[in-house]
Structure 1
Amino acid sequence: MAAKFFSSATPVLLLLLLLTVTCFFTPSLSEKCNPQDKTALLQFKKELGNPAKLSSWNATTDCCDPAWEGVSCDTDTKTYRVNDLDLSGFSLPSPHPIPPSVGDLPHLNILSLRNIPNLIGPIPSAITKLTSLHYIYISQTGISGNIPDFLSQIKTLVTFDFSYNKLTGPLPSSISTLPNLVGITANDNKLSGAIPDSYGSFSNLFTSLTLNRNQLSGKIPASLSKLNLAFVDLSMNMLEGDASVFFGSKKNTQKIILARNSLAFDLGKVGLSSNLNTIDLRNNRVYGKLPQELTGLKFLKKLNVSYNSLCGQIPQGGNLQRFDVYSYAHNKCLCGSPLPACKT
């Protein structure tokens, strides 16, 4: 019967039948998604337990389609490789580690896994296969373990944010070899130990160090004086010693936040960046006088030197009298407006 049909069918009908069968069994010729990237994403979904949030990741559709949740492809160069994976804010029904299949997306430029409480386990070594990765954002998760040394293998890395996790252990000294790193953010973890001396050898691109609310201890390395940090926040740790290394009149520093440590240095002898808008040194052991140069900081919006061992008269002028009593309170013998007048 089939033979009779084909022998009597017109060439047009045979062509239509062939096209129908081909379209049914093969991907659309218009699909832009790279097959390897698609396979990796579907495996990633499987390793996360096929969450309902990723139901848009469908094997029959194009992974470069905007319908695929959190997936972006490179449309600028028309290569259509997956270069951005952002699954921030989606909930996992049960705890899962970061799938190792994330390493099978070789053109990934940005990896964002933020605000996913059920994301657990260590940072996987598979990310070292991501040789085009510039930005890693893994924050507000249940990720634990150390910040791994193998991050130093990702030479394209520009910055990473590991804040609000459950990371422990020391800071890896090896990341100072990353040539393009501009900043580290790892606040609100349980990191411990000293800041590595090698961090003074970061390139001149490095401008941000945010490690507040951890359990870091030891002295601030003198080598950090080589850095020209725009932003540094080491508050609420157990750090000791001389933090004057972060100051300097020739630096471009905007914010220095070192509150609630055991830091001790003569504040009257530091140089001040003209760009400073925030200085928070409260609850330390800082001594000396407030430098007269503070009055010339036209961008200064926040100053708190309370609970230290400062003495002398608060310089008059600039923004210094706009700060309230609590910004200067509980020092050894600091006086003058807005505190009570100095005794003659």
Structure 2
Amino acid sequence: MLQYLDLGENQIKDIFPSWLGVLQKLKVLILRSNGFHGTIGAPKSDFVFPGLHIIDLSNNEFTGLLPSKYFKTWNAMRNLNVESWTYMHSVGIAFAVEYNYRYRSVYNYSLTLTNKGVNMKFTQVSEVFIVIDLSSNRFQGEIPESIGNVDGLQLLNLSNNLLVGQIPPAIGSLSNLEALDLSRNKLVGRIPWQLKQLNFLAVFNVSHNNLTGPIPQGGQFNTFDNSSFDGNLGLCGNPLSKKCEDSETSSSSPPSSTSSEENEDLVSFFHFGWRAVLMGYGFGMAIGVIIGQITVTRKHDWFIKIFGHQRWRKPIKSLANW
């Protein structure tokens, strides 16, 4: 029946306790600031941690790749019913035998999370609050596309690791995301324009990576200051003082639906044009044959005189008999 397990701020030295995945009702797992180490590996089945909403493994010594297969199995982090949410709490029933008295006690869960480098205390935790914090470890490799499966995610912190590769556009599908921290890694390439779709994104930090190209403009990106992009010498565009070249700006924009429609219209025009030419050519040939038949039939002597071939004495069969 365990729902909330906070072992943070201790001196536990161990590998990831994957065996806790059998706890069907576990919603919050906090192992932050310990000595956990090694790789997380893959889940043994698709039914581990089925009720997990919040996982905080920050400030440990985990290595290897990010747990991409867990991102596919944490189903409680998806398809949330935000209309009927409450706060996470435990309810205890206690009895005092001598007074025959029964009372109900409620304990609200609370936790501390790191948001843009600042520890934030949450005295109450919403049932629909979805968090993955894997920051300050030694995770390597790329951010997997499977992160897009956790579509109820509100806070994602992968900062201060050894992650490489590009920021996956799949993060742009996390429509509920409010805070994204990818700072202090080794990420390269451009910031995907798909991140402009994150209408609730209030905190964004990709500082101290190796990102290049223009910063997406519009949406929530108009609210972020320079500190969100510090330490990326290849970035350009607002809010940075470094301006982008026109070619860079145009290549970072989403595909234009107008251009696509124009191309389709152009293709349709040429397709119809060639059909019209062929139809006209065939119609012209038919008219020519008919006129030729009439000429040969009715002006047979004149035709023989002009072309001098006796084989034309027999009239050509009518086209209607073909």
> Under TM normalisation by the shorter chain, which class is it?
0.5 to 0.7
AA of the residue aligned to 1:334: L
Q: How do residues 115-194 of structure 1 correspond to structure 2 at under 5 angstroms?
A: 156-194=1-39
Is the CA contact 2:8–2:31 (under 8 Å) kept in the aligned structure 1?
Answer: yes
SS of residue matched to 1:223: helix
Find the aligned partners of 2:167 and 2:226 in 1 and give their Cα distance.
Answer: 19
AA of the residue aligned to 1:314: I
Compared with structure 1, are the counterparts of its residues 334 and 220 closer, same or farther at alpha carbon in structure 2 (3 Å cutoff)? same
Find the aligned partners of 2:203 and 2:68 in 1 and give their Cα distance.
Answer: 26
Q: How do residues 214-229 of structure 1 correspond to structure 2 at under 5 angstroms?
A: 214-226=60-72, 227-228=74-75, 229=77
Find the aligned partners of 2:143 and 2:169 in 1 and give their Cα distance.
Answer: 12
Higher RCO (CA-CA < 8 Å; seq separation 6+): 2
Name the structure 2 match of 1:307: 208
AA of the residue aligned to 1:270: A
Find the aligned partners of 2:69 and 2:45 in 1 and give their Cα distance.
Answer: 5
Name the structure 1 match of 2:59: 213
Q: How do residues 1-344 of structure 1 correspond to structure 2 at under 5 angstroms?
A: 156-198=1-43, 201=46, 202-226=48-72, 227-228=74-75, 229=77, 230-245=130-145, 247-248=147-148, 251-272=151-172, 273-331=174-232, 333-339=234-240, 340-344=242-246
| % same residue | 31
Find the aligned partners of 1:244 and 1:335 in 2 and give their Cα distance.
Answer: 26
Residue 249 of structure 1, CA deviation: 6.8
Q: C-alpha deviations, 1:158-217, integer Å up to 9, x for none?
A: 220001111112112211222222221011111111123228742442221101111111
Compared with structure 1, are the counterparts of its residues 233 and 210 closer, same or farther at alpha carbon in structure 2 (3 Å cutoff)? same
Q: Number of residues paired by the alignment?
A: 189
Compared with structure 1, are the counterparts of its residues 224 and 287 closer, same or farther at alpha carbon in structure 2 (3 Å cutoff)? farther
Structure 2 residues without counterparts, runs of 5 or longer? 78-129, 247-322
Find the aligned partners of 2:45 and 2:153 in 1 and give their Cα distance.
Answer: 16
SS of residue matched to 1:174: helix
Find the aligned partners of 1:183 and 1:196 in 2 and give their Cα distance.
Answer: 20
Residue 268 of structure 1, CA deviation: 4.5
Is the CA contact 1:268–1:288 (under 8 Å) kept in the aligned structure 2?
Answer: no
AA of the residue aligned to 1:158: Q
SS of residue matched to 2:227: helix
Compared with structure 1, are the counterparts of its residues 189 and 246 closer, same or farther at alpha carbon in structure 2 (3 Å cutoff)? farther
Q: C-alpha deviations, 1:280-328, integer Å up to 9, x for none?
A: 0001122232122322322111000011122221111112132111211
Name the structure 1 match of 2:306: none
Find the aligned partners of 2:70 and 2:40 in 1 and give their Cα distance.
Answer: 10
Q: C-alpha deviations, 1:204-248, integer Å up to 9, x for none?
A: 422211011111111113312303542111111111112335631
Instruction: Please provide the CA RMSD for this pair.
Output: 2.1
Compared with structure 1, are the counterparts of its residues 172 and 268 closer, same or farther at alpha carbon in structure 2 (3 Å cutoff)? closer
Larger Rg: 2
Compared with structure 1, are the counterparts of its residues 250 and 209 closer, same or farther at alpha carbon in structure 2 (3 Å cutoff)? closer
Residue 255 of structure 1, CA deviation: 0.6
Find the aligned partners of 1:308 and 1:284 in 2 and give their Cα distance.
Answer: 5
TM-score with structure 1 setting the length: 0.51
Is the CA contact 2:131–2:156 (under 8 Å) kept in the aligned structure 1?
Answer: yes
TM-score with structure 2 setting the length: 0.54
Structure 1 residues without counterparts, runs of 5 or longer? 1-155
